[in-house]
Amino acid sequence: MLQLGVQSLQLSGQVSAHDALIGAKLAHVVAGGNAAPGAEVSEQYLLDLECEAFLSLCGERKTQERMSHMLATGKPLRN
């Protein structure tokens, strides 16, 4: 459902492609990754998913631009 919401926002032009990528990774983490539906997952499992998503996003040029801009200006960059 979260992925569908992200796709809907992108198709309607409310978020950029990079915003949608971030949203998709966030949805993956919040939904418990590839764990079976209804399966209990540990806090460490969720932290590992979060870390993996964050490091993956850090490798993206647009994420790096957003981070640099925020550090330089204190304002978010919507690229």
CA distance 35 to 39: 6
Q: Tell me the residue range of the domain where 64 lies.
A: 2-73
Question: Average pLDDT for residues 50-79, to the nearest whole number?
Answer: 96
**What pLDDT does residue 50 have?**
97
Q: In the chain, which residue ranges form alpha helices assigned H by DSSP?
A: 2-11, 17-30, 43-58, 61-73
**Domain-embedded: residue 79:** no
Domain count along the chain: 1
**What pLDDT does residue 79 have?**
87
pLDDT in tens, 40-62: 999 999 999 999 999 999 999 99
**Domain-embedded: residue 78:** no
**Domain-embedded: residue 6:** yes
**Domain-embedded: residue 38:** yes
Q: In Å, how far are 10, 19, 52, 56, 67 from 61, measured between CA atoms?
A: 19, 13, 17, 11, 10
Radius of gyration for the alpha carbons in the chain, expressed in angstroms and rounded: 14
